[in-house]
Amino acid sequence: MPKSSVSKLVPKVPPLPSVPGMSRRQQFSASTKKTLVEVAEKLFTEHGYASTSLDAIVAGAEVTKGALYHHFSGKQALYEVVFEKVEAATAQSIDAAMRETKDPWEQARAGLRTFLEAVQQPTYRRIVVQEGPAVLGYQRYREQEERSTFTVVEDIVAAVLRAGDRTVDGEMVATFARLFFGAMSAAGESVAEASNPEEAAERVELAVTYLLTGVQTLAQQGVKVEDMR
């Protein structure tokens, strides 16, 4: 058998970009772990948590369950890593969008708009909104959100609220933030599911703007949240 035909069976593998301060062995390890997470993210998004088998994941990553269970304690732990990754990316994109303007009101609109876009991404929808609470349990789900996306939304809400009423305490801000966060999540689902997503998204923006404007108007009139009792 000629050498040339043999060499085709051993395709050249692109050398891993050498990361300083990391041995070759560690780089291989990190690579497989990264691949596992990426494949898991893809499959979880497409088929959901329950319908995605570990066999499918390790097959996609071209490893075995031994590798998976070396890097993660189980299926749920792998899901949590994927969850955090998706969350972090979303929070970061919102943060970036808000940094593009200085005006607080414009920042709020930009942030909410970006959140509305993010919440329509299949990955975020499936992994965070739809299956997150069920897979992680609401406790862990909330703990995770608290450290990323929700915090961003809370900052936005706080800015809008305090612009008019400086007496609102932290608990009240958190409550408003919860309401808006839940509202936007649900809205994202309905937008993504709508027959005409663009129109639906615009309706949501109108509605949210209307609500926020109402809040601002009340605040300008000196009406405090406390007065609602």
Partner DNA sequence: TACTGAACATACCGACGGTATGGCCAATAG
Partner DNA sequence: CTATTGGCCATACCGTCGGTATGTTCAGTA
* Positions in the binding site for DNA (CB under 7 A): 23-26, 28-29, 31-33, 52-55, 58, 63-67, 69-71, 74-76
What Å distances lie between residue 47 and 57, 82, 123, 133, CA to CA?
12, 14, 11, 17
Among 135, 152, 156, 160, binds a copy of itself (CB under 8 A): 135
- With CB under 8 A as the contact rule, the residue among 10, 21, 25, 171 that binds a copy of itself is 171
Closest CA to 145 of 134, 153, 156: 153
Nearer to DNA, 34 or 99 (CB): 34
Shortest Å, Cβ 207 to a copy of itself = 5
What is the smallest separation between the CB atom of 136 and a copy of itself, expressed in angstroms? Answer: 10
Q: Which of 76/216 has CB closer to DNA?
A: 76
Amino acid at 133: P
The answer to whether 219 and 144 have CB atoms below 8 angstroms apart is no
HSE-up of residue 101 (Cα within 13 Å, Cβ side): 12
CB 91 within 8 A of CB 148: yes
Q: What is the largest CA-CA distance in the chain?
A: 89
Output the six-digit token pair for 38.
């990426």
Give the shortest CB-180-to-DNA separation in angstroms. Answer: 35
Q: Is 228 in the site for a copy of itself (CB under 8 A)?
A: yes
63 binds, among DNA, a copy of itself, none (CB under 5 to 8 A by kind): DNA
Interface pick for a copy of itself out of 142, 151, 159, 163 (rule CB under 8 A): 142
CB of 105 to a copy of itself, least distance (A): 13
Q: CA 166, CA 138: separation in Å to the nearest integer? A: 32
Type of residue at 110: A
CB of 29 to DNA, least distance (A): 3
Q: How far is the CB of 19 from a copy of itself (least distance, A)?
A: 38
* Angstrom distances, CA of residue 211 to CA of 104, 114, 176, 218: 17, 18, 12, 11
Token pair for residue 196? Answer: 């005409």
Enumerate residues 205-224 that contact a copy of itself by CB under 8 A: 205-211, 213-215, 217-218, 221, 223
Q: Which is nearer to a copy of itself, 61 or 177 (CB)?
A: 177
